[in-house]
Structures are given as structure tokens and as C-alpha cells.
Amino acid sequence: MLYLLVRWVLGIAFLASLFEENFYPHLIVAPLSTLRNWEREFATWAPQMNVVMYVGSAQARAVIMEYEFYYPKNNKKIKNRKSGQVVGESKQDRIKFDVLLTSYEMIKLDTTSLKPIKWECMIVDEGHQLKNKDSKLFLSLKQYTSNHRVLLTQTLLQNNLDELFMLMHFLDSGKVSLEV
């Protein structure tokens, strides 16, 4: 259990450091059984961060999305510094939460709702789940945009270069290409 706690605290410390520099939102994808632990550790180690747990029935998730995802639109026009054009406020600018905790199952079910968000950091707990490039979780998460990707695992890799290659490809497909 100590290793799990250290793993969570390290992940939270990294996200808190990004948050202090005004970089957010963050996505944590973890087994459903560990989400409450993540939530509890955020309350202990980074209480300043708004953490939303995104799980439950389709109806429950719709309520979470309606009330916890975005601030109301204020219809205020913003002048783009680079182009000088006047544009409306984007959904990305209205995100309420700093961290979204969700399970593998929710990623597979709600990719269309979660994929458009530009994530600062995506942490995948039990990241060894991504060693199969044909898994639905791998294929779903590869579509997400994030500046940082972190895999946490306590499962040792076997002497299998293909598995290591797939994990590295997930982390940085620009440097580790599937093309040979």
C-alpha cells in the first residue's frame, strides 16, 4: 500500500506544480477501484485543486458534465492578441475543473465528450494496460490531445521489447513511430 500512496502523491505533486504555473486541466485515468483513493489523496496533498470524479450511469455523467465541466457562457467577446480578431469565449476557456478523475470504462464510453478537451497532462494509472496497441483503451487515449503524458504502474515489464515499444509510442508517438 505504501507504494500506491507514493505513486499517487508523486502524480499529484507533478499536477500541483503545473497548476501553480496555471497549466490545467489534467486527466487521470485509473481503475475504478482506485478513483476514491486518488480523490482522497488530492484532498490531502493538493486541496487547492478542483477535482471532479467522472463516473456513474449515463444520466449521472450528463449531470456532472452539465454542472461541473464548464462555467456558463458570458457571451463576452475577446480580442485575439495575434490576429486582432474578435472571437467568442471557447469551451476550453470555460472549463471549471483542474483535474478530471475517470475510469478506463468511461474513457471508452465517452471519448466523444472528453477528446475535444485540450489536456495539459494525462496520467494513466496502471499504464501497463496500454501495452496492446489494438486495445480499445489504447486506441481511445491515443486520440486525446495533451502536452504531457505520464504512465504509472507497479507491474514490471517482461523481457518483451514490443510491450516497452508500445508504452513509449503512447508517451511520444512523434519520437517512437509505429512505422518501420
**pLDDT tens profile 33-72:** 999 999 999 999 999 999 999 999 999 999 999 999 887 8
Per the structure, the complete domain to which residue 158 belongs is given by 2-14+23-57+97-171
Question: What phi and psi, each to the nearest 5 degrees, are found at residue 125?
Answer: -80, 145
- Residue 75 in any domain: the answer is no
What share of the chain has pLDDT > 70, as a percent? 81
pLDDT band at 178 (very low <50, low <70, confident <90, very high): low
- Residue 67 in any domain: the answer is no
The tally of domains found in the chain comes to: 1
- Residue 150 in any domain: the answer is yes
- Residue 85 in any domain: the answer is no
- Global pTM? 0.81
pLDDT band at 75 (very low <50, low <70, confident <90, very high): low
Q: Mean pLDDT in the chain?
A: 82
Q: Domain holding 133: CATH number? A: 3.40.50.10810
Nearest-angstrom CA–CA distance, 61 and 64 = 5
- Residue 33 in any domain: the answer is yes
> Which pLDDT score is estimated for 180?
43
Strand pairing class (77-79; 86-88): antiparallel
**pLDDT tens profile 108-156:** 899 888 999 999 999 999 877 777 777 888 888 888 889 998 888 876 6
The answer to whether 152 touches 104, Cβ cutoff 8 Å, is no
Whether a cis peptide bond, with omega within 30° of 0, leads into 47 is: no
- Residue 50 in any domain: the answer is yes
pLDDT band at 106 (very low <50, low <70, confident <90, very high): very high
